Chains A and B, each alone.
Chain A
Amino acid sequence: MSRAREIIVAKDLGFNYAGAKKPAIQGVNLSISEDEFILLTGPSGCGKTSLCRCLNGLIPNFYQGEWTGELMVDGLDVTTQPTSELSRRVGYVFQNPENQLFALTVEKDIAFGPENLGFSRDEIRERVDVAMKITGTSALKELAPYELSGGQQQRVALAGVLAMKPSVIVLDEPTSFLDPHTAEEVMRAADDLRRELGLTIVVVEHRLDLVARYAERIVVMDGGKIVADGSLEQVLDEQFDMLEGLGVGVPRVSLLWSMLRRDGIVSGKVPTHVEDAASALSGMMSH
């Protein structure tokens, strides 16, 4: 079986912000392949945002502090590459799209990144058109970003990042400001990019139920360290008590199942989806 190319490799990575009492991240070993969809989670202050900042070089280029270990992203050593080089490879979508969109029209906003890289008009045109097509924002191109709904804004932010033709897209709590249907729409758009373009997607999120359908792998951090890394089903089943103890937003059906299992009412793996729990319980009641 051929192994997909490794796109992110961290070896014993650590970072201590200047003046901070303890490191934000420490001893992080992580290997992420092309076209993986990763859910990165953990309690507030666990280091997940700091780890993401390393991926596109914001750390160590814009934040002062002490760096240890190694981090390679798309074949580049983060500590020796300029941020301009890294930002082409790692796109970052923030929690609040209002902080990211500023041009007068959607089209101009999406063109901003490629324009700054100094591409020809034709190249910019093509990148913008492709990005709008994939994210379903073509019909919005003449509109001003503030006229859009939250989900549309977040898709435009995604298109802007996509126009840079990155290999990795990091979405940092991208659905916080969105209602559940709109949140689903953004997650689906990110998953399309993974499936159609082979991009690596890293989503930072507290609410596992929102991402459970798309993420095959979950990485959990606490105190700057990785404390769990595996398939969502496996981590939920084997390390449920640890996740709950950390205050990770486990799907409610998983929580219910684990309570019933503790009470000796049910057994077997903790389900991740409502449908699985429903059919297991239903089967039991039909007897």
Chain B
Amino acid sequence: MITLEHVSFRYASGYLALQEIDLNIQGGDFVAIMGENGAGKTTLAKHLNGLLKPSQGRVLVDGEDTRKVSVAHLARKVGLVFQNPDHLLFSETVKDEVAFGLKNFGFSPEVVEKQVGRTLEALGLAEYADTSPFLLSGGERKRVALASILASEPDYLILDEPTIGQDYQQKERLRNFILQLYSQGKAVVMITHDVEFVAESNPKVILLSKGQIVGQGSADSVLSRDEMVNRASLVKPQMSRLFGELAKHGLPRDVVDVHRARILLEDKLGEVKAPVAQNP
């Protein structure tokens, strides 16, 4: 379990980026941390693997205080995938890139090869094994960065804006991958402002604004509430905006994903038995 107890963090410039954060993350959790640019999301992520240490309060990873153990030690448990893949990539081939961490952790060449192959396959990167990461598109480089962290199978996976530059098929693949990880008992924490991705993935949502947690709960309960969404400078998912308009007809407001919307509307309109609706 990763536990944040009253964590505050002030940058050297004096800027207070996090204030009194209390948070628990355990195996099997899928958490989305959302908020506007500058809300403190990335600062929070960097606390989870000890890259940043709290100015006040403490962060415990499986009981160990992040101020007392090395980042290298924590890296085996907590994998952080940065928002910008170019901060992470440096090897000559995709295969070497993904193998790098595993080699550093001292795994045998056979294990390294097997893990690298498996991970590249899972992320649809196998065909690029011998390509330089720098010849790939932005979206592909992002997946290589993800693969290089995933290969060592950390217990806690922190993804900073994983959907940037990804098309819908890749997002779908990412969603399935995340689902697989947390159903295996890993914890996945995703930092994102992609409301539609969150609406359809249904993680536990934590809203951050100006360094404070301003709301938390299931995706449908949080993303359908104006006051919460506004406070975190987000925009409600399209389904939520639609069902806000349809609430006067007795439909629920807390609908954020297309599939639930479809079922509700089929029921409702089946019951109306009016002529088929026309969109002028």
Contact = CB atoms under 8 A, between A and B. Distances in A.
B258 A255 contact: yes
Interface string B47-78: 00000000000000000000000000000000
A287 B275 CA distance: 9
A268 B139 CA distance: 36
Contacts of B168: 206, 247-249
B37 A178 contact: yes
A49 B135 CA distance: 13
B83 interface: yes
B277 A252 contact: no
A281 B139 CA distance: 37
B277 A267 contact: yes
Contact of A284 (B140, B167, B239, B277): B277
Nearest to B267: A265
A150 B35 CA distance: 13
Contacts of B233: 179-181
Interface string B220-247: 0000000000000111011101100110
B262 interface: yes
Nearest to A285: B249
Nearest to B275: A287
A264 to B, nearest CB: 7
Contact of A247 (B169, B195, B199, B280): B169
A173 interface: yes
Contact of B246 (A255, A264, A285): A285
B10 to A, nearest CB: 17
A256 interface: yes
Contacts, number: 157
A282 B262 contact: no
A260 interface: yes
Contacts of B202: none
A176 B165 contact: yes
Interface string B260-280: 011001101110101111111
A98 B83 CA distance: 13
A283 B138 CA distance: 44
B138 A95 contact: yes
A283 to B, nearest CB: 7
Interface centre among A179, A251, A263, A267 (most CB of B within 10 A): A179
Contacts of B268: 285
A284 B249 CA distance: 10
Contacts of A249: 167-168, 196
B36 interface: yes
B253 interface: no
A267 B280 CA distance: 10
Contact of B276 (A42, A98, A266): A266
B193 interface: yes
A180 B242 contact: no
A283 B237 CA distance: 22
Interface in A147-191: 149-151, 173, 176-182, 184
A284 B272 contact: yes
A260 B266 contact: yes
A207 B171 CA distance: 12
A179 B169 CA distance: 22
A239 to B, nearest CB: 15
Given A95-B165, A248-B167, A285-B246, A277 B137 contact: no
A264 B276 contact: yes
A214 B166 CA distance: 22
B170 interface: yes
B86 to A, nearest CB: 9
Interface in A264-286: 264-271, 274-278, 280-286
Nearest to A250: B168
A265 B279 contact: no
A180 B238 contact: no
A150 B139 CA distance: 19
A278 B38 contact: no
A172 B248 CA distance: 41
Contacts of A252: 196, 199, 237-239, 258
Contact of A285 (B165, B170, B266, B272): B272
Interface of B: 35-38, 83-84, 137-140, 161, 164-170, 172, 193, 195-196, 199, 233-235, 237-239, 241-242, 245-246, 248-249, 258, 261-262, 265-266, 268-270, 272, 274-280
3 tightest CB-CB pairs across the interface, nearest first?
A247-B169, A284-B277, A278-B245
7 contacts: A95-B138, A180-B235, A207-B196, A247-B168, A266-B277, A271-B279, A280-B279
